[in-house]
């Protein structure tokens, strides 16, 4: 099996764990909404940037943000740099949800680290971090 598919399998396993935990915690969120939400910057993000990073159309991103907004997880606020633009940022409830998701991610990573052991776990992180320099335009 090729390396990209192996990485996708691990990514999907993480997605499933996070979404399941979020639903168990009372957050009714879809995978698509979560993938968009995980790209929201700490100080907020423009819709066009979220769409580009999530690799969806601006219209799709708008629908996903509207759904998150209706759940009280995000809000649209004026961009302090450009008064014509709006930023999407987490509400307090959305930040709580993001913090919960981060806790789940850290827990799953610890399981993976325990499974891989002290030699492979750091090597995997180092290799993927190095690969990111080549493949991630959003660093």
pLDDT band with cut points at 50, 70 and 90 for residue 138? confident
Instruction: Copy the structure tokens of residue 139.
Output: 């660093």
Residue 53 confidence (pLDDT) above 80:
yes
Q: Can you give the pLDDT at residue 137?
A: 87
Write out pLDDT tens, residues 75-132: 999 999 888 899 999 999 999 999 999 999 999 999 999 999 999 999 999 999 999 9
Q: Can you give the pLDDT at residue 139?
A: 75
- Cβ-contact 76, 85 below 8 angstroms: no
- Cβ-contact 40, 74 below 8 angstroms: yes
Average pLDDT, the chain: 95
Residue 6: partners with Cβ closer than 8 Å, 6 or more residues away: none
């Amino acid at each position: 099996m090729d390396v990209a598919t192996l990485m996708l399998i691990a990514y999907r396993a993480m997605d499933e764990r996070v979404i399941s935990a979020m639903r168990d915690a009372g957050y009714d969120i879809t995978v698509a909404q979560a993938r968009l939400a995980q790209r929201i910057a700490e100080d907020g993000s423009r819709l066009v940037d979220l769409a580009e990073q999530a690799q969806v159309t601006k219209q799709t991103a708008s629908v996903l943000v509207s759904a998150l907004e209706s759940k009280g997880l995000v809000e649209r606020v004026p961009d302090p740099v450009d008064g014509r633009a709006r930023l999407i940022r987490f509400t307090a409830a959305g930040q709580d949800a993001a913090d919960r998701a981060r806790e789940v991610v850290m827990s799953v990573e610890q399981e993976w680290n325990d499974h891989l052991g002290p030699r492979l776990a750091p090597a995997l992180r180092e290799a993927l971090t190095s690969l990111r320099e080549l493949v991630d335009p959003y660093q």
